[in-house]
Structure 1
Amino acid sequence: MSSSAAVDVSHDAVSKEDRVFRKVAFRIMPLMIVAYVISYIDRTNVGFAALTMNRDLGLTELTFGWGAGILFFSYCAFEVPSNIALHRFGARRWIARIMITWGLIAAATAFVTGPYGFYALRFLLGLAEAGFTPGVMYFFVAWFPARYRTRALSVFQMSVPLASLISGPLSSAILQMDGIWQLAGWQWLFIIEGLPAVVLGFVVLRYVTDKPHEATWLSAEEREIVVKAVQAEQRERPVHHLWSALADPRVLILAGIQFGFTIGSYAVGIWLPLILKSHGLSIGAIGLVAAITYLFGCIATLLWSWMVDRSGRRTSNLTIACMVGALGLIISVIFQSLELGLVGLSVALVGITSARGIFWSIPPRFLTGLGAAGGLAFINSIGTLGGFFGPITMGWLKETTGSFQAGLGAMAGFLILSAVLTQVLRMSMRQE
């Protein structure tokens, strides 16, 4: 065979593989993105509910921070057991179970009558949702080799700013339903934004396939292409077993990195409506302005993931993204006017949301099998503790100092810590 003919064959094979993985992506990605959008809205819509709920339930800034954050405590505590169950029972069944139970609990939050009921339902919501994010990541590892996974994960992680983009106007509109059927606007908020997860859970049971070789919606040739591409992937110092994964220093460093940017993500995400309210904005304006800040995050996540795919420099770009997030928060601390503060928060969200997409492309480079299920869950459980400490820290500092500036400055410090740990990881993995 001539060299030109060999090149043509190789090009045809690559083109065929691209077509197959586009088909896989169009089957899997929309459903997972919608699920994650609903998940993130149900975690963070409490920030919009707080605009009227705090008065009705008698919540102070600190007690609201505890209620907002306690979800992440139970989420983290049950993350690893949940993902071990996912490995045993299959991603399809377990992710569906997670979605159905969290949707019911999220909707039930509408009927709490005081601080302790609010704490209890938020705790149960975290318990129900534990394992969802790393479960989806584990699912992606089974379906996408590294050369497609970074882009898939980044598109998936775009669900976070997309959820916030949708949540602002939607939540503001639902809050206007105050008094319908003798329910407060914040009660309608939890009901309307919680129940779709239940419906989607049954959709997952119907349409999701656990492994490529089980996919009847692919031809035999297409299944073979996917299976071979995933199995042929070379991983650096692969870790297959649970306890080996949990003891791996790279896993511990990754958990610390995620903790740093997650504490900033949820602190800003949950408190942003109240920060905007402090500038005298109406509920409708708060939803619109919050959506605009997250629009920049959506665009940046896509563009940055494309650059990372082309360069392959994951850890370097993760460091830069964390520093951009910190810079944005510092700007919002220094400039306290509404306009310049929003510029700073928009820059911060560009860095934070981009970091999230880049971050999750790194662990599958060395985690496989049960090691991937447990390792991804452990990273997410420790990292997501940032969602517990972020809202509480913001609430405590707001109550102590009387402003949001101290809390935003503290969040910037954690993002800088994530950037430093990423450089430690880079040296550990000897890459990029």
Structure 2
Amino acid sequence: MPDVGQATVRRVTWRLMPFLGLLYMIAYIDRQNISYAKLQMVDALGLSEAAYGLGASLFFIGYFLFEVPSNLLLHRVGAHVWFTRIMATWGIITVLLAFTPNPTVFYLLRFLLGVAEAGFFPGVLYVLTLWFPVEHRARAVGLFMLASAVANAVGAAIGGLLLDQDGTFGLAGWQWVFLATGLPAVALAPAVFFLLPRGPEAARWLSTEQKAWLASTLDDGSAAAEHGGVLSTLRDRRVLLLCLVYIGFPLAAYGLSYWLPTIVKSFGVSNTTNGLLNIIPWTLVGLALWGVPRMAARFRNQVWFAAGPALAGAMLLVLSVLVTDVTLRFALLSLAAAAIFSGQPVFWTLPPRFLSGAHAAAGFAAVNSVGNLGGFVAQAVVPTIRDRTGSDIAPMLFLAVCLAAAGLGVLAVERMLPRPR
């Protein structure tokens, strides 16, 4: 790559990725704070594990219904405008969750949180195609998703501490969880509008030469032009299959991250110790998200770096059920978390192999919205399996089957796509 190319990619990476990662970290904490609030909120609202899981999972229904329209609006008005709206609304709704008076309001606010956040993750995936040449996208997505690992580690560290603030200023610990995680999103919303450029052509920190190089490189590396309206993308067999395959990734990710604090609590530790122990798996996830896309970048066809971690994660989840030693079980679950997340950046390099422009925006949103129904399934089914079996670890077998199916599905669908350039 010419010197101008190296300098351009480096500058784009340092200017965009830390900021986008910060936004995703806040989004992920706001999405996952429910797993720590659950430890007190179930009793406070008089809910069963299954009923609470249903309420938590309603987030993904709102997310599913509004993801494609949200991404199409982002394509029209620009990321700086749309991400500002997304952050402000999801932060306000998270704060309102702190004052949930009954199960009905809890269900409604979780649904509205999904509506508010819809379009953020696939929106960023689409935005990265406007800034990074194709050979750098897996690493860019990996850096972005690294924020989810940091979010889970930070959330684990503060989740237990916030629960232990029970009674401070007359608020319950679970209320502090929502307050402390919702306010940062509201505070950062104005910064998004002023700091995030609409596109490379509007970036004051890129020189004219760098803008020209980026425009020509992105044009050379883009997918072939599609025919028909955006709705044709939603009918494309390849898009539909990617939607189906992707379900297994968020299902396993949310199922494990939602249930892990409950598993650790069964070890007989305090809320604060629970949170500190849960930093370990998310540290491993962060290392895997940094390393796997970099290894994948050495290969023209990177598909095994998406499918392989999924299959390895499924095996680790099965082993976690078979062992009886709690330390070994926690170690296996921590490694499984790293495997589940690390293949996803490479998975997201598949849609741009045949989609670009508004079609790519619609395709990313469709795959992510349908796939994230796996989060709904996980947060509804995992507590149900636990209620019926009486075991905190039995749900891991269900997650393993779904994750293995996703890994094999990636290998099958990839054969239908144009060869990597």
- Aligned residue among 290, 297, 301 for 2:289: 301
Q: Distance in 1 between matches of 2:300 and 2:225?
A: 18
One-letter amino acid of the counterpart of residue 175, structure 2: Q
1:275, distance to aligned residue in structure 2 (A): 1.3
Q: Who is 2:343 aligned against?
A: 355
Q: Is the 8 A contact 2:222 2:356 kept in 1?
A: no
Q: Is the 8 A contact 1:37 1:163 kept in 2?
A: yes
Q: Is the 8 A contact 1:241 1:370 kept in 2?
A: no
Mean Cα displacement is larger for which, 127-136 or 170-179? 170-179
Q: Who is 1:129 aligned against?
A: 117
Q: Who is 1:156 aligned against?
A: 144
Q: Is the 8 A contact 1:394 1:404 kept in 2?
A: no
Q: Distance in 2 between matches of 1:360 and 1:72?
A: 20
Unaligned runs of 5+ in 2: none
1:378, distance to aligned residue in structure 2 (A): 0.4
Q: Who is 1:387 aligned against?
A: 375
Is 1:33 the counterpart of 2:4 in the alignment?
no
Q: Is the 8 A contact 2:129 2:137 kept in 1?
A: yes
- Closer, same or farther in 2 for the Cα pair 1:236/1:342, shift >3 Å? farther
1:112, distance to aligned residue in structure 2 (A): 0.3
Q: Is the 8 A contact 1:72 1:387 kept in 2?
A: yes
Q: Distance in 2 between matches of 1:283 and 1:359?
A: 35
Secondary structure at the counterpart of residue 186 of structure 1: helix
Unaligned runs of 5+ in 1: 1-12
- Aligned residue among 36, 40, 57 for 1:48: 36
Normalising by structure 2, what TM-score?
0.96
Is 1:63 the counterpart of 2:58 in the alignment?
no
Is 1:316 the counterpart of 2:316 in the alignment?
no
Q: Is the 8 A contact 2:138 2:349 kept in 1?
A: yes
Structure 1 residues 197-236: aligned runs within 5 Å: 197-235=185-223
One-letter amino acid of the counterpart of residue 354, structure 1: S
1:353, distance to aligned residue in structure 2 (A): 0.9
One-letter amino acid of the counterpart of residue 187, structure 1: Q
One-letter amino acid of the counterpart of residue 243, structure 1: L
Q: Distance in 1 between matches of 2:228 and 2:56?
A: 35
Q: Deviations over 1:51-92 (max 9, x none)?
A: 112111112110111011110111111111111111121111
1:167, distance to aligned residue in structure 2 (A): 0.9
Secondary structure at the counterpart of residue 195 of structure 1: helix
Structure 1 residues 111-122: aligned runs within 5 Å: 111-122=99-110
Q: CA RMSD in A?
A: 1.5
Q: Deviations over 1:345-371 (max 9, x none)?
A: 112111111022221122122211110
Q: Is the 8 A contact 1:324 1:347 kept in 2?
A: no
Q: Distance in 1 between matches of 2:21 and 2:5?
A: 23
Q: Distance in 1 between matches of 2:364 and 2:395?
A: 29
- Flag as ranges the 4+ runs of structure 1 deviating above 3 A: 236-241
Q: Deviations over 1:313-348 (max 9, x none)?
A: 321221101101101111111114321211221121
Q: Distance in 2 between matches of 1:147 and 1:168?
A: 34
Structure 1 residues 266-285: aligned runs within 5 Å: 266-285=254-273
Q: Who is 1:145 aligned against?
A: 133
1:238, distance to aligned residue in structure 2 (A): 5.0
Q: Is the 8 A contact 1:160 1:353 kept in 2?
A: no
- Closer, same or farther in 2 for the Cα pair 1:418/1:52, shift >3 Å? same
One-letter amino acid of the counterpart of residue 312, structure 1: R
- Aligned residue among 364, 388, 392 for 2:352: 364
Question: How many positions carry a matched residue from both structures?
Answer: 420
Structure 1 residues 397-408: aligned runs within 5 Å: 397-408=385-396
Secondary structure at the counterpart of residue 310 of structure 1: coil
Q: Distance in 2 between matches of 1:284 and 1:312?
A: 45
